[in-house]
Chains A and B, each alone.
Chain A
Amino acid sequence: MPRVLLIEDDRAVREGVALALRRQGHEVGTAVTGEEGLRQARSFRPDVAVLDLMLPGMPGLDVCRALRDLDQTLPIIMATARGDDEDIVVGLEAGADDYVVKPVQARVLDARIRAVLRRAAQAPGDGGIPKLDTYGDLTVDRAGFSVALRGVPVALAASELRLLLTLSASPGQVFSRQQLLEAVWEHSYHGDARLVDACVKRLRAKMGEPRYIETVRGFGYRFAAR
């Protein structure tokens, strides 16, 4: 049973969402403030965090960064008001994997949670025989879902890992942002392409030079085997 940590200050929203998620088969832990959320993240050990960006006290974006520092791989979904465009970009760059716009129906939120969990479930080492692909300094284990750079494991968030796996599966092939939104985030074709851009940015930062992910102007991204 997936464990969801819900950080939301409004009582009605918190109780409504928690109730709905429990009915969808999740185990839900709730927190009213960012500080409480960070404590819960240690004790409750969630599989996924749903974080309201508009929090009293510690700002949602700081909570997002702190959660990411705490656990590089914990999937984080931001709940935002539409139009808070800058918050979305900053949140994605701070390490959030996805976002939903409030008000959101329970089944939409559930679908997003299951999508990030599918990403996360592929993540680290459930053993088996490693299926290693090497591209220059980069080693991708497609069975163990891990990535190493010059032999050193790189901790990737769920969306980052799945994006890298998708791109590197067909080196040289150009993927449009829309294709990646569907393949990695399970969003609609018309989803927010900034998810892809922000995730590529984070991946590039973690993998350093040379660039394994190339921008193809006007089309999208491709993995360059080096």
Chain B
Amino acid sequence: MRGLSARRSRVPQLLGLRTRLVLAFALVAALTATTTGALTFREARTGVLQQSQDAVISQLRAQANRLAPDLDIPPTQDGLRRFASDVAASEPSGAWRVMVTYGELSATSAAGDRFAELTPALREAVRSSVATVFQRVRTGDHTSLVVGMSVAFTTGAASGLRIFLTVPQATEQASVDALVTAVERATVPALVLAVLLALLAARGVLRPVRALRSATRSIAEGRLDTRLAVNGSDELADLSHTFNETAAALEASVAELRGMEARARRFAADVSHELRTPLAAMSAVTDVLDEDAARLDPDTATAVRLISEETVKLARLVDDLMEISRFDAGAAVLHLDEIDLAESLRRTLAARAWTDLVDTELPPPDTLRGRVDPRRLDVVVANLVGNALRHGARPVRLRLTGSTGTEPRAVIEVLDSGPGIPAHVLPHVFERFYKSDAARTRTEGSGLGLAITAENVRVHGGTVRAANRPEGGAVFTVELPLHNEENR
């Protein structure tokens, strides 16, 4: 489970909203810059090269027209060489290299030039076509424009003379390279800008989301008055608004429930309180009734004794109800004192004349001391032992041990030898007025004893549980921290 939840939490971190936004923005920016750059580059490059090659071709054609009429057809090798040199010399920069062919004869403007740039394909294209043919050829780092054309007579018939020209395109290459560099340089700032924008946008989205998350957590922790500030009118503002409405509805219904519960508890407390004054008068005179019953006629004596006994039970019930009400109201206060726990347990048994009815396993005097509320500990032990004596069977054992650990605890066990507690009753034994049989027979207890026991243990920060022993009989186990803080 642990590993799984750790993995679950890492994935959203990697693909968090912020990361995803940044990635998306960067991708869009990169794509836009690249596409724009590529298109611009292609157009610009085409423009630059087209222009230079048009200029070269028209210049070549003009020179051919000017010089060709002076050439005898068929030419001599020497005539061809001179024609080639004249054409090449017509370009002032001297960058032109010219080759002229006629049948098997061929001459170049520069002596011994092998005209490596001229491809057979171009040569073939010039031979088969009357149009001017050109090709851009890259050899090593240099790009050259190779132009080829057939020279025709003014009558239109082919003369058989072909002119080839090679022009290095260093300037044009430099312009194109500069263009590439410019595009590259523009892309990087665009990417940075995109990431910054993405972060800004992520912040704008994430802030309300984060506020929503912490508000939700706050509600979950019980602070139902948590509200979000609603800014603007976008979807997130809408969500915040809905959140506020939900929180308000939740708060209202919880407040209503609490109010109802508080009224119910108040009512129970008030009833108990109101019962107490008449009970105080009745309790005061039960001893008088008991004393004089012997002197009355039997029926009256029975009635008087009944009233006396039930008054005592009623007083105990009201007392228990008041006690429970105080736990419910959170008004139960611990009066802590550091005492010898074994002594306390011994005194509890002695005060109720149970010493001979219960087997005890207690540590030696003053070996197990703890900060507890002595009165509440007495109530806990008396209720558990009384319960075991009433519902279990003897022998009943009371055992006290200390458990050491990070938080030292006292462990009090009450074991009986009765039939144990039916499985369907076990989860309910600490409930108020819970009766295990449908007949709801009234016993000596108020029906609140174990509930009060559980509450008393709880205010000490301890635990109580009921179970059946494998060898038979029930066991109630109380664990109390030995070092309680004042009035938790």
Q: Which A residues lie at the B interface, using CB under 8 A?
A: 10, 12-13, 15-17, 19-20, 23, 81-83, 85, 102-107, 109, 176-178, 188-194, 218-219
Identify which of B278, B340, B344, B375 contacts A12 (C-beta below 8 A): B278
Q: Are B335 and A106 in contact (CB under 8 A)?
A: no
Name A21's closest neighbour in chain B (CB-CB): B284
- The CA of A188 and the CA of B351, in the complex, are separated in Å by 8
Q: Are B374 and A13 in contact (CB under 8 A)?
A: no
24 residue pairs from A and B, CB less than 8 Å apart: A10-B280, A10-B281, A16-B282, A20-B287, A20-B288, A23-B288, A81-B273, A81-B322, A82-B319, A82-B322, A83-B331, A85-B333, A103-B282, A105-B287, A106-B284, A106-B286, A178-B374, A188-B347, A188-B351, A189-B344, A190-B375, A191-B375, A193-B337, A193-B374
- The CA of A191 and the CA of B374, in the complex, are separated in Å by 8
Q: Are B322 and A219 in contact (CB under 8 A)?
A: no
Given contacts A13-B277, A85-B333, A218-B338, contact A105 B286 (CB under 8 A): yes
Chain A residues whose C-beta falls within 8 Å of the C-beta of B276 in the assembled complex:
81, 102-103
- The CA of A188 and the CA of B312, in the complex, are separated in Å by 20
Q: Are A189 and B283 in contact (CB under 8 A)?
A: no
- The CA of A191 and the CA of B373, in the complex, are separated in Å by 10
Given contacts A82-B322, A190-B344, contact A103 B279 (CB under 8 A): yes
- The CA of A189 and the CA of B276, in the complex, are separated in Å by 26
Identify which of A81, A102, A107, A177 contacts B337 (C-beta below 8 A): A177
**Most B Cβ at <10 Å: residue of A12, A15, A85, A103:** A103
B interface, over-half SS: helix
Given contacts A81-B273, A189-B374, contact A103 B284 (CB under 8 A): yes
Q: Are A16 and B287 in contact (CB under 8 A)?
A: no
Q: Are A107 and B287 in contact (CB under 8 A)?
A: yes
Chain A residues whose C-beta falls within 8 Å of the C-beta of B374 in the assembled complex:
178, 189-190, 193
Chain B residues whose C-beta falls within 8 Å of the C-beta of A105 in the assembled complex:
283-284, 286-287, 312
Chain B residues whose C-beta falls within 8 Å of the C-beta of A103 in the assembled complex:
276, 279-280, 282-284, 315, 318
Name B273's closest neighbour in chain A (CB-CB): A81
Q: Does B55 contact A (CB under 8 A)?
A: no
Chain A residues whose C-beta falls within 8 Å of the C-beta of B282 in the assembled complex:
16, 103
Q: Are A106 and B348 in contact (CB under 8 A)?
A: no
Q: Which B residues lie at the A interface, using CB under 8 A?
A: 273, 276-288, 291, 312, 315, 318-319, 322-323, 326, 331, 333, 335, 337-340, 343-344, 347-348, 351, 369, 371, 374-375, 377-378
Return B191 CB to nearest CB of chain A, in Å.
71
Name B332's closest neighbour in chain A (CB-CB): A83
Q: Are A189 and B284 in contact (CB under 8 A)?
A: no
- The CA of A20 and the CA of B284, in the complex, are separated in Å by 6
Identify which of B318, B319, B335, B340 contacts A192 (C-beta below 8 A): B335
A-B contact count (CB 8 A): 104
Q: Are B339 and A16 in contact (CB under 8 A)?
A: no
Return B486 CB to nearest CB of chain A, in Å.
13
- The CA of A178 and the CA of B374, in the complex, are separated in Å by 9
Chain B residues whose C-beta falls within 8 Å of the C-beta of A176 in the assembled complex:
339-340
Chain A residues whose C-beta falls within 8 Å of the C-beta of B371 in the assembled complex:
218
- The CA of A102 and the CA of B374, in the complex, are separated in Å by 20
Return A187 CB to nearest CB of chain B, in Å.
11
Q: Are A104 and B280 in contact (CB under 8 A)?
A: yes
- The CA of A134 and the CA of B315, in the complex, are separated in Å by 49
Chain B residues whose C-beta falls within 8 Å of the C-beta of A83 in the assembled complex:
322-323, 326, 331
**Most A Cβ at <10 Å: residue of B312, B338, B371, B374:** B374
Chain A residues whose C-beta falls within 8 Å of the C-beta of B377 in the assembled complex:
190
Chain A residues whose C-beta falls within 8 Å of the C-beta of B319 in the assembled complex:
82
- The CA of A13 and the CA of B335, in the complex, are separated in Å by 30
Identify which of A13, A109, A190, A218 contacts B378 (C-beta below 8 A): A190
- The CA of A185 and the CA of B471, in the complex, are separated in Å by 45
Name A188's closest neighbour in chain B (CB-CB): B351
Return A7 CB to nearest CB of chain B, in Å.
14
Name B329's closest neighbour in chain A (CB-CB): A83
Return B315 CB to nearest CB of chain A, in Å.
5
Chain A residues whose C-beta falls within 8 Å of the C-beta of B287 in the assembled complex:
20, 23, 105-107
Given contacts A83-B331, A104-B280, A177-B337, contact A23 B351 (CB under 8 A): no
Q: Are B315 and A219 in contact (CB under 8 A)?
A: no
- The CA of A190 and the CA of B374, in the complex, are separated in Å by 5
- The CA of A107 and the CA of B374, in the complex, are separated in Å by 24
Q: Are A16 and B285 in contact (CB under 8 A)?
A: yes
Return B480 CB to nearest CB of chain A, in Å.
15
Q: Are A16 and B281 in contact (CB under 8 A)?
A: yes
- Extra contacts besides A13-B284, A103-B282 (18): CB < 8 Å: A13-B281, A16-B282, A17-B280, A19-B285, A81-B276, A83-B323, A83-B331, A102-B277, A103-B279, A105-B287, A106-B286, A176-B339, A177-B337, A178-B337, A178-B343, A188-B347, A189-B344, A189-B374
Return B322 CB to nearest CB of chain A, in Å.
6
Chain B residues whose C-beta falls within 8 Å of the C-beta of A178 in the assembled complex:
337, 339, 343-344, 347, 374
Name B331's closest neighbour in chain A (CB-CB): A83
Name B371's closest neighbour in chain A (CB-CB): A218
Chain B residues whose C-beta falls within 8 Å of the C-beta of A109 in the assembled complex:
284
- The CA of A189 and the CA of B341, in the complex, are separated in Å by 12
**Most B Cβ at <10 Å: residue of A23, A82, A177, A189:** A189
- The CA of A15 and the CA of B318, in the complex, are separated in Å by 22
Name B281's closest neighbour in chain A (CB-CB): A12
**Most A Cβ at <10 Å: residue of B318, B331, B335:** B335
- The CA of A188 and the CA of B374, in the complex, are separated in Å by 11
Name A107's closest neighbour in chain B (CB-CB): B287
- The CA of A82 and the CA of B338, in the complex, are separated in Å by 23
